Structure 1
Amino acid sequence: MRRSAVLTANHDISISDPATGAHIGSRASATQADIEDAMTLARRTFPMWRHTAAADRGAALRTAAAALRAGTAELAEIHEHETGRPRAEAAESIAAGVSTLEQYAELGPVHRGKSLHGAWSATDLMVPEPRGVVVALTPWNDPVAVACGLLGAALVTGNTVVHKPSERCPHTGERLGALLRDAFPDGVLQTLLGGGATGERLAGHHDADVVAHVGGAATGRRVAMATARTGAKALLENGGNDPLLVDDDVDPGWAAEQAALGSFANAGQICVSVERIYVCARRAGEFLDALTDAARRFALPPLVDTDHRDKVHEHVRQAIGAGAEALTGATIPDGPGAHYPATVLAGCTPRMTVMAEETFGPVAPVMVVPDFATGLTEAARGRYGLAATVLTADLAHVHEAYRTLPAGTVKVNAVFGGAPGGAAQPRGVSGTGFGYGPELLDEMTATKVVHLTAPGGLG
């Protein structure tokens, strides 16, 4: 196997350690010439890769998974210094990426079409085919596991891939590309570094057949607009504003621990973090006391950078200015780095930015509601629809919640978790399409109907 390139040009992406503020290094943004070269190579390589046997593509993916497993320690260290995620958690995320590659290595060769019941003398088939060149735009908060899902599904189904990791973790993305590239022929998997402008050029490129994006809603909208112009398929997970609804029949201390985990894990920088909380009035006081105590005990990593911390703090500041009460946190600490405390806000209202938009930080904004029905109505409001959580002991409330909430994932009595292989479609501005699971193979392929019959006039 030959190597695929990690392409760079001018050193113009500068990264600092979010824990200490120390300069880590700089990486180059791809030039327009780099983009054209990469897309041309991906297009030229596609016929060869699509004709490669599915079992051989799966074997290449297993080789890539083994290389990623062997490079875990080094990559986890880079991940920690670049994004602030603790090294042990970074290693767990990389292990998840390895597992994802291995799963797609097995699923790809058995991805199948269908036979149809037509005329006795004919054969009718529905055949999945690779779409072509996939542009993958991946985020900084879970840069390895998310990338492995998109790359694995695209590659094993016969597509070629141009991957742009987030500009907030170029070293991590660059090293990931270097670990994976030896498993594939030249041009099958390429990594380009750059910021938003690079992503927009890739998303709008005439040679892109699929643009798969995981990240913010604003960027997702730009990707959708670009693909609407070119005709490429857009596969989008745009983030969310995930609600947590606490019924009055659950233990408030347990509910507070769930809320703290959902709001503060990885400093709230998880796609399905709890972003807004609704608690029924009867147990609200106990819940808020317990949540405040849990927040004060929660050990947090830093936010990814000071720019993001400033955005998080602005949401908090606006909420306090509009009448919310900070029960703990809500201040930028002294010292270097991008640290921010676990913050609990009481007295929140629907129009506050911290309730209406994705904050993506360690903030738990709480709104007290008179009853479960009111809370469910409030939780169902908004433009986003990624995930939602309900804590309740009432089976009727469970059914009402999962049928009512307009979210791709509804979790009951646990803010995180789920069986492997599940896949969901986000709602609203949170995106479109299956972004993981076996169904991601369907997203990376297009179905062709084939009708076979004998020619007439044969004697």
Structure 2
Amino acid sequence: MTTSLSFDVHSPATGALVGSYPSHDESAVEAAVDRAHGAATWWRTVGFDERARRLDRWRAEITRGRDELARIMSEEMGKPRSDAALEIVMALEHLKWAARNAKDVLGPRSVTPSLLTVNQACRVEYRPFGVVGVIGPWNYPVFTPLGSISFALAAGNTVVFKPSEYTPGVGVWLAEAFARAVPEQPVLQVITGGGETGAALCRSRVGKIGFTGSTETGKRVMAACAQRLTPVLMECGGKDALIVDADADLAAAADAALWGGMANAGQTCLGVERVYVHTDVYDKFLTELLDQARDLRAGTGTAKIGPITMPKQLAVIHRHIEDAIARGGRALLGGPEAIDGQFVQPTILVDVPHDAAAVVEETFGPTLVVTRVASMDEAIERVNDSEYGLGATVFARRDGDAIADRIESGATSINAFVAHATIPALPLGGVGASGFGRVHGPDGLREFTYAKATTRQRFSSPLALTTFTRSAGIDTVVDRLVSVLHGRIG
């Protein structure tokens, strides 16, 4: 792939140049997709077992190079090296699950026919689309795109991957590691560039697009894919909440809220941005939360919180904090002065109106809005009063399951933050403005396939229905059967 244009990547922490990459234009994207189509037949026909062996080799390559990969991730998007290493570990677990379970989930299986079609032998299997395009995010540039890439590959697709323009080096490294494990064909390719490169991928001859990013960008992706009626998997934004009931373990709940809201500088679609606490323990919870947050800082070196990766997001964070305070909210920690360059210190807001921007819109920064509620009914009502529905967390000893069941989101974790995203066998995805479709688990494998049904007539049916030779006597028999089978219910 060649192109005359390129772009630079700078460290959000230091501003230093960390790499230059080509901006692949439409012709380069189409060439990559053509190569992927050429490799698709080979990759599909090697079968589940051989694909699993190749994916295991890729997993080993990533494992051996994890220190270098973590370094690139940290340099490009700013997260602490230890957090980058943890992200790689989670991605490896999901890659392993996809490789080991694809055959059982997607392979052919028999289906029992109905009484009227008993002469048919039936089976269903899940066929790969051929080529899948994946558009990945910068905030979790290994874990999140691999949720699509590894499952699409395990299902038998080749993949053309466009990483974020903020983290192209991560994508290039992953593709080079894959090429060492699978050198025969261009099964996984990377194209780099900005929005136009992604739009070209959407307009190309891919069988499906897996997208992760903001809801607004997702709408543009869908519009581009509509030109070819290309199906899409949409993993979009969130405004996730954490609920604390009166009988909750407050220390554990505060720890989860702090990690959920501040880890990765709050740049997590599943991150906690809203906390609803039962009035009976509200003050105690706040004391615990502030005590745990006392020494937490954003910065370089040994700091546990890195910079804001996208400079334009700083304006959003600042607007949300300023609006909350202007409307009667208080900053118990941080506040408008917490923003210094591309670093934002942890900010905890209280007394914020329910319709404030910090409660309604995705902030994507290290902020928490903590709200007192009189009951769990009120907490659930407020959690569900959002256009987003990605994930949620509940801390409660007695009624955790009952509370979780009433939350309208793609997943809920009880007494642990975002545990559902770390378990490879569970599906991950949202509802509403958070998107549709699922990654991970059996649903994630099927997401990158289409169902193929096959029947074979074993013998001629005594009730031949789909023929012009059907007699009045057969119609009478069928009518009586319908009455017996379906008319005696209730």
| Aligned residue runs from structure 1 range 59-458, under 5 A | 59-110=53-104, 111-118=106-113, 122-184=120-182, 185-205=184-204, 207-298=205-296, 299-331=304-336, 338-395=342-399, 398-418=400-420, 419-453=423-457
CA contact (8 A) 1:204 1:223 kept: no
Structure 2 SS opposite 1:92:
helix
CA contact (8 A) 2:52 2:100 kept: yes
CA contact (8 A) 2:7 2:193 kept: yes
Alpha-carbon offset, residue 197 of structure 1 = 1.8
In 2: Cα distance, 1:93 partner to 1:390 partner: 23
Alpha-carbon offset, residue 85 of structure 1 = 1.3
Structure 1 SS opposite 2:419:
coil
1:294-344 CA deviation, whole Å, 9 max, x = no partner? 223224222224333332222212222222111111245687x62110000
In 2: Cα distance, 1:122 partner to 1:294 partner: 65
Of 27, 32, 51, the match for 1:38: 32
In 1: Cα distance, 2:247 partner to 2:45 partner: 58
Structure 1 SS opposite 2:49:
helix
CA contact (8 A) 2:51 2:99 kept: yes
In 1: Cα distance, 2:352 partner to 2:168 partner: 37
Structure 2 SS opposite 1:140:
coil
- What is the RMSD computed on CA atoms of the aligned residues? 2.2
CA contact (8 A) 1:280 1:370 kept: yes
CA contact (8 A) 2:260 2:272 kept: yes
Structure 1 SS opposite 2:272:
coil
CA contact (8 A) 2:392 2:418 kept: no
Structure 1 SS opposite 2:8:
strand
Residue type at the aligned position of 2:112: H
Residue type at the aligned position of 2:254: A
Alpha-carbon offset, residue 121 of structure 1 = 5.3
Q: Which of the two has higher C-alpha Rg?
A: 2
* Unaligned stretches of 5+ residues in structure 2: 297-303, 461-490
In 1: Cα distance, 2:272 partner to 2:225 partner: 30
Moved more, 94-103 or 208-217: 94-103
In 2: Cα distance, 1:369 partner to 1:330 partner: 23
Alpha-carbon offset, residue 259 of structure 1 = 1.6
Q: Measured at CA, do residues 157 and 352 of structure 1 come closer, stay the same or move farther in structure 2, by a change above 3 Å? A: same
Q: Partner residue of 1:3?
A: none
Structure 2 SS opposite 1:319:
helix
In 1: Cα distance, 2:19 partner to 2:148 partner: 27
In 2: Cα distance, 1:424 partner to 1:12 partner: 34
In 1: Cα distance, 2:186 partner to 2:160 partner: 9
CA contact (8 A) 2:97 2:424 kept: no
Residue type at the aligned position of 1:450: T
Q: Measured at CA, do residues 318 and 15 of structure 1 come closer, stay the same or move farther in structure 2, by a change above 3 Å? A: farther
Q: TM-score, normalised by structure 1?
A: 0.91
Residue type at the aligned position of 1:301: G
Residue type at the aligned position of 1:208: V
Q: Measured at CA, do residues 120 and 403 of structure 1 come closer, stay the same or move farther in structure 2, by a change above 3 Å? A: closer
Pairing 1:56–2:54 present: no
CA contact (8 A) 1:217 1:238 kept: yes
1:23-61 CA deviation, whole Å, 9 max, x = no partner? 223222111211111122222332232222222222211
Structure 2 SS opposite 1:14:
strand
Percentage of matched positions with identical amino acids: 32
CA contact (8 A) 1:137 1:164 kept: yes
Q: Measured at CA, do residues 95 and 281 of structure 1 come closer, stay the same or move farther in structure 2, by a change above 3 Å? A: closer
Q: Partner residue of 2:469?
A: none
Q: Partner residue of 1:26?
A: 20
Structure 1 SS opposite 2:247:
coil
CA contact (8 A) 1:248 1:280 kept: yes
- Aligned positions, number: 446
CA contact (8 A) 2:338 2:347 kept: no
Residue type at the aligned position of 1:198: T
Residue type at the aligned position of 2:350: A
Moved more, 256-265 or 130-139: 256-265
Q: TM-score, normalised by structure 2?
A: 0.85
Structure 1 SS opposite 2:277:
strand
